[in-house]
Amino acid sequence: MAKKKPSIAFQGEHGAYSEEAIRQQYSDSMTTVPYRGFTDIFDAVNDGTVEHGMLPVENSSAGTVAQSYELLLEHDLRVQSEIIFRVHHMLLATANTSIDDIQRVKSHPQALAQCEGYLRRRGWEPVAVYDTAGSARDLATTSEPSTAVLASALAGDLYGLNILERGVEDDPYNSTRFFVIGHKDAVRGDEPQKTSVVFAVRHTPAALYECLGAFARNEVNLTKLESRPMRFRPWQYWFYLDFEGHVEDPACEQAIVGLMRHASMVKLLGSYPAAPNPYLNYNGYHVAQSEHKQ
């Protein structure tokens, strides 16, 4: 009897970029389950309907996905791994539509924003809809000869649409960072580790300086620091911080202890295997910049 594959929830319809990223990372070792919203993903993991959730947390062009971090703060789930996925937007249309027929392009607002320059040069009307893959599915079931969509190659395959142009995103390094979330802490392996925390500071001079100083004194490298407004507390902020290393590493453990001494609240989101960053070389410089200088 075949062993049942673990299930992982993602936001959107089948063919979404989240599902494409899951397939890239895990091949066919997980069963993908679509949900309409991010809150639905957390509910499904919390009640045991699925074992894992796939959550977009940051895009290289559009920045942080605020709702994802708010939900991570509200729920007691752990970040188990991260995935950095190179997003290639495909211009898709039905078999009877040529590129000369197109007048409008439908997709999720973020996909439209990431292809804004391309659409403007073509003179096409952008039309925002709920989901990239959903726009592909809907186009495949309706007759809209002057309409195309921006979605993944996977969505094109699933819904029988033709790829009219590939990789139409404005940013050649357009990527999305995902967290895989679940109930348990990640199993620690030999690969480089990363840790994510959320904290708040007291309303006193040098409060943030003292919190961050705990990492500097222990020579722990920060990879992300961002402030976000607290809900229902105007002009007060959470700080989301990522650093290299595992919370059980001596230097990282001391840094967390120092942070807790000076912060008013600290929540550990998880220590997990760090995804390779394809845009940095071994010295930490952007590959694109170093290539440009040569």
d(CA 18, CA 22): 6
What is the number of other CB atoms lying within 10 angstroms of the CB of residue 116? 12
Residue 170 CB burial class (10 angstroms; 0-12, 13-18, ≥19): middle
Positions annotated as catalytic residues are 176, 178
CB atoms inside a 10 Å sphere around CB 249: 16
Q: Which residues partner with 258 through β-bridges?
A: none
> Does residue 15 contact residue 159 with C-beta atoms inside 8 Å?
yes
> Among 100, 109, 97, which residue's Cα sits nearest to residue 135?
109
Residue for token pair 């802490």: 185
Residue 62 CA from chain centroid, whole number: 11
Helix/strand/coil for 196: strand
207 φ, ψ to 5°? -60, -50
